[in-house]
Structure 1
């Protein structure tokens, strides 16, 4: 009977198969994020008549306070749909490399990449500024209202097992930093030094810092200042006032580089997102200082194939999508970087449909191509490629008919697989919010995750995003570390419009797997008619044939693994055998979708459908 039941389930249409989590439905609002308590913070704001931007800011503050693989000293990047203008706008609240963060500095310390942890891994904090910027320009509430849930939690909340156990696992590293030790090791000297699950975890220093920001706002309002001026008073206290002074003091005391001038000069940026149209759907991503355009490039390539006819997760489908992702990631690894620094990336050429056709023509139908390298997008924007010599030095032959060897950078297999997989999948959180007025927010904030180095008595963990820079222009001339420059990050929220209206909003944690999982999530919905909840749970696959963005300080720690693929445990034997014959090295897991959070907009019934995968603690609340 069990066999018959399983076969019956497998023969059901993909859209009809039962999910492990129920769909969330709402007609007024939807709030989804990485922790149930974080979603509750968003719901509290919605119940106080805040809009989706207010709620998203409250969820951001709450998840930072919960150390949900991020903290206040990290970075925020967001896409917002504005129903008043009917446009998608992007918020760039990524911090920058501080004064003194040069190639020469890091190489003098023996690094091949900036370090993973500690004060030298820190960019300037972006999340406080990004939150306040979004609140000023698109929210309706005060900072005091939006931070209330987070401040209540900082005063003491029941810590969940995931964060408590992460602290315990990393306690030896946390002991290196005095302010981290003070905050996290609540039972110092005992067998278990971290808080226990359910213990009331108190963060007095963080509460004091948040209180200072709210007090700055309140004092400005008492003086008759406008809402915007009051919010800017809080902003200035963080980036120019006594909070900044303590942040810098605590950073430098522990060997960090951030200065008062670094904080004062930094500002969040509102920018135009990048967009491609895939079969009638406008897909929006952040600019090339993130890896977001990888998904856009992959969609342009895949538009040249009939994916639906191949069948969901058939051998041909897996192979085609895997190859398309490899082509896009090869370009990411060489051409993406801070769009506000020199040199300028060839993003117009990279997103050209004609360039995508040229790349699609490289896909070999019978085997994995281990020799995939960056293409040459420059002719597709009317320019000559100034980096041909660098590409040749790197080991890539631009004429693919002559490329009969694998670049030496791309064949090493020196790092243990478990460490490599950890670096590949390193997560953050995601935030999705929407309301009946039409505001939609998709955020992938990060930085300051455990084990975090806390900056003095601010209670705020510093970012670790410096590690995403390179020190060698042969690897990527656009992403070489320099003071005032943003690293090319993995963080990548998504918004999708159809016929000019919101269609989907989605984001996922998981380092270099983010745009792999978001690509397949979108294809699950658009090509295979899955519901948003089914699409978040559906079996995906991941390629390891890319340069890692996080982890390790040696080149061998980051090198691609050609042909390595992560598949779901349920992958049929026939598909496994066929992939092996095509040159793939297979690994398996029971959940391969990543912790995707998403909202689908049902315009037929004017309702919101929320999806949150069965991977992790992510979930939401709808009304």
Structure 2
């Protein structure tokens, strides 16, 4: 720990020179939300209204969350019904956090040899061969049946009305237009999305009534299955699961498989019939009296927990909010956590099993932070060795050495990036960056699209104490629709690897779940609800959420202030999405994205530490959160100002 003590002394000495005042984050563009009875926040205003409607009908937070999930899927809010659902639920009666794993699995035939025979170094990012089995329909039905109070018919009513026709928003309509050339490759997608085929603009116009007749029929069939089960005398839970059964084992499954395989997909009827959601125990650590919960290592969520364990060894408040030492510390800690993620995380229901006890150990965290150089970026960050911290010998020591030699981080510094996920920097920001002699922000947008791709969030809470945090994703535009179901297929298969040197725990195999970026969060304080938070944005999710959490816990921000505050993005990690070649995904050592408001003094200092700096107006995906004011017994809501995310409270 000698190095850590020297590091703390170093950062305290220069904080006053390179500090960045949090006052910039105090003036929010959107007002905070307040509620006494309930709170509903998600990625689209209409979908938030769907959640509010369920609350007004007497539903609990699970009912409202399921209604918002169904609505966002129907509105193609960078996901659809064929995607995957990951959720954390707080059960107020049992005082327990429950994890829901509704991630699809690799289909029959999805093997390393199959994809390598087609010239891929990763599974493809688009089309039928990118699809795992759908998870959202089954996950929604399971959550609703086990923990909700309403019927599936009641919860799906807003989504059914939307499928029958709703005024499409500009963001989705323009996304369809941008992706129309790829959409034309898939006949069922073309029929649904390109409603003005042959005209200059083939996608719907903003405000036009967008009708999805096939999806309406599919959702109606699920509701019919529930009603029939009730007529037959089954109880509420069994009736809801009858709807799920029709999707995965009935006529909906038949058409889904037919449409997928017609277009070259691998999913079989048996793949659908054998899949089911899993209720499991979440992982958690305690940070300064706050218990933080994340999903297991089939997500990247434990990387946030590892980061918090390491950050216990630093006085972050003394460094100063977004000072050069603070930014450097976050970047180094996140890189260490993500290096472990990149090698050790994978499906816990397959062998080998990841060494999570060691990875989350406080003692292991202390050894990791000793690798941090206080004055320079470590361009050679590698996975650590957590096995001794759970009393085992690392079986991958030779593999790690081979990996280090073959997949050393890229040394290129000239590549540039900018978030292109439906939000570009302003012209003024580009001119400002140029004037500051920084790298241009306008190039290499494909890389950042991979980094930020997909996903929305759903946050709900009620006065009884039910809390739901969901990060659903998959089937984003341009999506390949499976036959006449109206269901866009997931693209999550691309998050597998084909080379065990990259990650022996995440090599593709039939029936296996890929390690995903999707990562809802819950936190308890004094054993009571404290914070529910999530964000969209691919590999940046737990980077953004870590800083959001620290903004509130260390720097006293409100949820709205924390959601709008500047973020630091590291690209020194293996990308989980996009590109089928190694160079598309390889870590970019020293690559850092900062908010354009960052002071010149901080930028100058960071550049001397070996960072390649780019600036943008947007440095985080939209963060949605609910804070539980234990003093006053009320709810606070926060929703980022950089997307269409929207919340309603009462």
Query: What does 1:422-441 align with in structure 2 at a 5 Å threshold?
Result: 422-441=449-468
Residue 270 of structure 1 aligns to a residue in which SS?
A: strand
Whole-angstrom CA distance in 2 between matches of 1:213 and 1:310: 55
Cα deviation for residue 420 of structure 1 reads 1.1
Cα deviation for residue 16 of structure 1 reads 8.4
1:505 corresponding residue in structure 2: 532
Alignment counterpart, residue 398 of structure 2, candidates 389, 392, 414? 389
Whole-angstrom CA distance in 2 between matches of 1:11 and 1:228: 53
- Size of the aligned set, in residue pairs, is 605
Alignment counterpart, residue 349 of structure 2, candidates 334, 340, 363? 340
CA spacing shift, 1:360–1:206, aligned 2, 3 Å: same
My pick for the range that moved more, 515-524 or 417-426, is 417-426
Residue 21 of structure 1 aligns to a residue in which SS?
A: coil
1:263 corresponding residue in structure 2: 272
Query: What does 1:345-360 align with in structure 2 at a 5 Å threshold?
Result: 345-360=354-369
CA spacing shift, 1:18–1:343, aligned 2, 3 Å: same
2:27 corresponding residue in structure 1: 18
2:490 corresponding residue in structure 1: 463
Whole-angstrom CA distance in 1 between matches of 2:308 and 2:595: 22
Q: Tell whether 2:597 aligns with 1:570.
A: yes
Residue 214 of structure 1 aligns to a residue in which SS?
A: helix
User: Could you report, residue by residue, the CA deviation over 1:146-183 in whole angstroms, capped at 9, with x for unpaired residues?
Assistant: 00000000000000000000000010100000000000
Is the contact made by 1:292 and 1:492 (CA closer than 8 Å) also made in structure 2? yes
Q: Tell whether 2:523 aligns with 1:514.
A: no
1:195 corresponding residue in structure 2: 204
Alignment counterpart, residue 551 of structure 1, candidates 554, 578, 581? 578
Q: Tell whether 2:225 aligns with 1:216.
A: yes
Query: What does 1:116-515 align with in structure 2 at a 5 Å threshold?
Result: 116-395=125-404, 407-411=407-411, 417-515=444-542
2:432 corresponding residue in structure 1: none
Query: What does 1:19-38 align with in structure 2 at a 5 Å threshold?
Result: 19-38=28-47
Cα deviation for residue 413 of structure 1 reads 7.0
User: Could you report, residue by residue, the CA deviation over 1:425-476 in whole angstroms, capped at 9, with x for unpaired residues?
Assistant: 1131000000000000000000000000000000000000000000000000
My pick for the range that moved more, 16-25 or 409-418, is 409-418
2:120 corresponding residue in structure 1: 111
User: Could you report, residue by residue, the CA deviation over 1:222-264 in whole angstroms, capped at 9, with x for unpaired residues?
Assistant: 1211111211211110000000000000000000000010001
Alignment counterpart, residue 100 of structure 1, candidates 98, 109, 112? 109
CA RMSD of aligned residues (A): 1.4
Is the contact made by 1:14 and 1:529 (CA closer than 8 Å) also made in structure 2? no
Alignment counterpart, residue 47 of structure 1, candidates 56, 66, 81? 56
Cα deviation for residue 594 of structure 1 reads 2.3
Is the contact made by 2:596 and 2:615 (CA closer than 8 Å) also made in structure 1? yes
Cα deviation for residue 14 of structure 1 reads 3.9
Whole-angstrom CA distance in 1 between matches of 2:243 and 2:454: 29
2:425 corresponding residue in structure 1: none
Whole-angstrom CA distance in 2 between matches of 1:430 and 1:515: 13
Is the contact made by 1:414 and 1:557 (CA closer than 8 Å) also made in structure 2? no
Residue 395 of structure 1 aligns to a residue in which SS?
A: helix
User: Could you report, residue by residue, the CA deviation over 1:346-398 in whole angstroms, capped at 9, with x for unpaired residues?
Assistant: 111000000000001111000100011000000000111111111111126xx
Whole-angstrom CA distance in 2 between matches of 1:264 and 1:74: 16
Whole-angstrom CA distance in 2 between matches of 1:351 and 1:252: 42
Is the contact made by 1:97 and 1:482 (CA closer than 8 Å) also made in structure 2? yes
1:401 corresponding residue in structure 2: none
Alignment counterpart, residue 81 of structure 1, candidates 87, 90, 115? 90
Cα deviation for residue 11 of structure 1 reads 10
Residue 600 of structure 1 aligns to a residue in which SS?
A: strand
Whole-angstrom CA distance in 1 between matches of 2:302 and 2:25: 32
User: Could you report, residue by residue, the CA deviation over 1:53-82 in whole angstroms, capped at 9, with x for unpaired residues?
Assistant: 000000000000000000000000000000
2:563 corresponding residue in structure 1: 536
1:403 corresponding residue in structure 2: none
Residue 298 of structure 2 aligns to a residue in which SS?
A: coil
Whole-angstrom CA distance in 1 between matches of 2:90 and 2:196: 45
1:68 corresponding residue in structure 2: 77
Whole-angstrom CA distance in 1 between matches of 2:596 and 2:476: 30
Q: Which runs of 5 or more residues in structure 1 are unaligned?
A: 1-9, 397-405
My pick for the range that moved more, 407-416 or 262-271, is 407-416
Residue 516 of structure 2 aligns to a residue in which SS?
A: coil
Residue 230 of structure 1 aligns to a residue in which SS?
A: helix
Residue 593 of structure 2 aligns to a residue in which SS?
A: strand
Is the contact made by 1:14 and 1:528 (CA closer than 8 Å) also made in structure 2? no
Cα deviation for residue 124 of structure 1 reads 0.3
Whole-angstrom CA distance in 2 between matches of 1:581 and 1:591: 24
Is the contact made by 2:25 and 2:565 (CA closer than 8 Å) also made in structure 1? no
Residue 176 of structure 1 aligns to a residue in which SS?
A: coil
Alignment counterpart, residue 582 of structure 1, candidates 609, 625, 633? 609
Cα deviation for residue 26 of structure 1 reads 0.4
CA spacing shift, 1:13–1:291, aligned 2, 3 Å: closer
Cα deviation for residue 220 of structure 1 reads 1.0
Whole-angstrom CA distance in 1 between matches of 2:24 and 2:529: 21
Cα deviation for residue 221 of structure 1 reads 0.8
CA spacing shift, 1:605–1:12, aligned 2, 3 Å: farther
Is the contact made by 1:14 and 1:530 (CA closer than 8 Å) also made in structure 2? no
Q: Which runs of 5 or more residues in structure 2 are unaligned?
A: 1-18, 416-442
Cα deviation for residue 615 of structure 1 reads 1.2
Whole-angstrom CA distance in 2 between matches of 1:16 and 1:426: 26
User: Could you report, residue by residue, the CA deviation over 1:88-121 in whole angstroms, capped at 9, with x for unpaired residues?
Assistant: 0100000000000000000001100000000000
Whole-angstrom CA distance in 2 between matches of 1:92 and 1:177: 30
Whole-angstrom CA distance in 2 between matches of 1:428 and 1:184: 20
Residue 408 of structure 1 aligns to a residue in which SS?
A: coil
Whole-angstrom CA distance in 1 between matches of 2:64 and 2:638: 18
